Chain A
Amino acid sequence: MAEDVCCLKAKLREKDREIAALRDKLAQLEKNPSSAPELHNKVIPLTPLTVKPALSNEDIMRYSRQLLLPELGVKGQLKLSRTSVLVVGCGGLGCPVAQYLAAAGIGRLGLLDYDEVELSNLHRQVLHGEENQGQAKALSAASAVRRLNSTVECVPYHLQLSPENALQLIQQYDIVADCSDNVPTRYLVNDACVLSGKPLVSASALRMEGQLTVYNYRGGPCYRCLYPVPPPPETVTNCSDGGVLGVVPGIMGCFQALEVLKIASGQGSSCGQQLVMFDAQDARFRSIRLRPKQPGCAVCGENASVTQLLDYEAFCGSAATDKCRKLNLLSTNQRITVQEYKSILDNAGPHLLLDVRPLVEVDICHLPLSLNIPLSSLEDRKSDHLQLLKEGISKLKQQMAGDCQPSVYVICKQGNDSQKAVQVLEKMSGSEVDNITVKDISGGLMAWAKKIDPTFPQY
């Protein structure tokens, strides 16, 4: 009996605590109705930002350390609170941009990303946490920003910026930060900013380097003035191919936030006709004087031919994503599936497995008994590597009875480089090396990990 009373009292205390927590949450929501970010999957018209006549005591305390700067002061702080910024991409650049703009008290923050949080994002996209995996990046970033500064109005968009929605969206913001990760989006954002007359604070990062410029600002050049013709798609490297040290986009994103804050607070940016290059290896920043706005520019020039947004994927010849494209260079009889390769292994069929990835990737993971010769070494006919290949082929011939051709299977990460390698090896077969039958393993090691061996690492 006494035990029951005790237990019930404990339960009641627990319920009381729950009720108190719910009351607090309700009060918080009623005080600030927008505190739970609502994710938008389309562009919505926004109400004009409420103009703060003065700083509240809470504002003064929160921003006191920056209010002390004569460069900013109360006037600058009020300007920040009246400025809206659209962050295109909530990745390695977008996270620090959103974080510092929110911390500094920007009025409204549009956070756009079509993607979801993945484990391989977390080393650089520092607003997202382990528990956010699978969540829309825009929402994850908005929640993190909300924890930091609930007075900033956050508008998360879970959508792909497109020629159809870009103008309507960008027109509603004062400044745009390009934190995207691909060429078509960079041209799209530029053209939309030019057509709507918005300054564009643009940064990019790859491997150990970063670049930053402010476009379409105070009569300066736009992205197209510098790059009238998009680069050939095969010359463009993305972060998932080339790699990137997380802190590098972190530094560039912080730099972007700085330029946005200077523009928003009225101090102005000096990067309007300037390229800032950052080399993390040499710990060196360098500023380059750029060309002025080009009278012949297709979008901001005197006789602009681009007067509305175009199909940027067609213009650039590549997709508006940093995900890898799948090449199709070979015919089906030149390729085998991972399942077919598995049965060759199971039947102990004599063959040579050639892994054509760079050494740095082979160090991450590889199949046992594979011979590593990077694609570039094959293309360049590096002599020591050719020697290895010849030895591998002659060893295989000794194992094989009869006079059938030795089989060489080529593998890489996703099955693109392996196709190029097959083409190179077919040219070499019968002349530079013995006659061989070469096939590529379609989908590469990532298909192997997905379909054959779930314990094999994916990267």
Chain B
Amino acid sequence: MAAPIAIHLEFGGGAELLFEGLKEHRVTLPSQLEPWDMKQLLVWIQRNLLKERPELFVQGDSVRPGILVLINDADWELMGELEYQLQDQDNIVFISTLHGG
């Protein structure tokens, strides 16, 4: 049984607008049998934080194209993407790419 973990979620580049404009969320993921991974976190976010228009945030079981995910200040591609196992006090950032100039 994995203990509950506290993590820090951040949304930026406009992705925060899907979360009532709040850029920072400190959340506690409940205790569960297996360790939490990014795939499960996305489902948890969808159920608990994202109430409307999920298609602007997720696509299939990952984030939609144009959102970059950072785990502790590194591109999640370097960390195992969906398979990354979350640790207590991790900092996860979802940043929407900007195109304006």
Interface, chain A (partner B; CB < 8 A): 89, 91-94, 178-183, 186, 203-207, 209-211, 226-232, 234-239, 242, 244, 249, 275, 277, 279, 286-291, 322, 379-380
Q: Is B43 an interface residue (CB 8 A)?
A: no
Residues of chain B within 8 A of A181, CB atoms compared: 99-101
Q: Is B101 a contact of A231 with CB atoms below 8 Å?
A: no
A205-B100, A206-B99 given; 13 more Cβ-contact pairs under 8 Å:
A94-B101, A180-B101, A206-B14, A207-B14, A209-B13, A211-B13, A227-B66, A230-B65, A232-B64, A235-B64, A238-B99, A288-B74, A290-B75
Q: Is A210 a contact of B52 with CB atoms below 8 Å?
A: no
Given contacts A235-B64, A275-B68, contact A289 B99 (CB under 8 A): no
Q: Is B27 an interface residue (CB 8 A)?
A: no
Q: List 23 A-B contacts (CB under 8 A).
A: A91-B101, A92-B100, A178-B101, A180-B99, A181-B99, A204-B99, A204-B101, A206-B13, A207-B14, A209-B12, A210-B98, A211-B95, A231-B66, A232-B55, A235-B64, A238-B99, A239-B100, A242-B14, A244-B100, A249-B100, A287-B73, A288-B74, A289-B73
Given contacts A286-B73, A289-B73, contact A182 B99 (CB under 8 A): yes
| A182 to B98 Cα, complex, angstroms | 9
Given contacts A227-B66, A289-B73, contact A209 B101 (CB under 8 A): no
For B12, B99, B100, which residue has the most chain A Cβ atoms within 10 angstroms? Answer: B100
Residues of chain B within 8 A of A178, CB atoms compared: 101
Residues of chain B within 8 A of A93, CB atoms compared: 101
Q: Is B101 a contact of A232 with CB atoms below 8 Å?
A: no
Q: Is B99 a contact of A183 with CB atoms below 8 Å?
A: yes
| A362 to B94 Cα, complex, angstroms | 30
| A404 to B77 Cα, complex, angstroms | 60
| A210 to B97 Cα, complex, angstroms | 9
Q: Ordered nearest first, which 8 A-B pairs have the shortest CB separation?
A: A231-B66, A291-B77, A229-B65, A204-B98, A206-B100, A93-B101, A239-B100, A181-B101
Q: Mark B65-101, 1 if CB is under 8 A from A, else 0.
A: 1111010011101100000000000000001111111
Q: Is B56 an interface residue (CB 8 A)?
A: yes
Q: Is A231 a contact of B100 with CB atoms below 8 Å?
A: no
| A459 to B31 Cα, complex, angstroms | 51
A288 in complex: contacting residue of B73, B97, B98, CB < 8 Å: B73
Residues of chain B within 8 A of A249, CB atoms compared: 100-101
For B51, B55, B66, B98, which residue has the most chain A Cβ atoms within 10 angstroms? Answer: B98
Q: In this complex, what residue of B is CB-closest to A179?
A: B101
Q: Is A279 a contact of B12 with CB atoms below 8 Å?
A: yes
Q: In this complex, what residue of A is CB-closest to B78?
A: A291
Q: Is A235 a contact of B56 with CB atoms below 8 Å?
A: yes
Given contacts A291-B78, A380-B52, contact A230 B100 (CB under 8 A): no
For A182, A235, A239, which residue has the most chain B Cβ atoms within 10 angstroms? Answer: A235
Residues of chain B within 8 A of A380, CB atoms compared: 51-52
B101 in complex: contacting residue of A203, A234, A236, A289, CB < 8 Å: A203
Q: Is A206 a contact of B98 with CB atoms below 8 Å?
A: yes
Min Cβ gap B68→A in Å is 7
| A207 to B64 Cα, complex, angstroms | 21
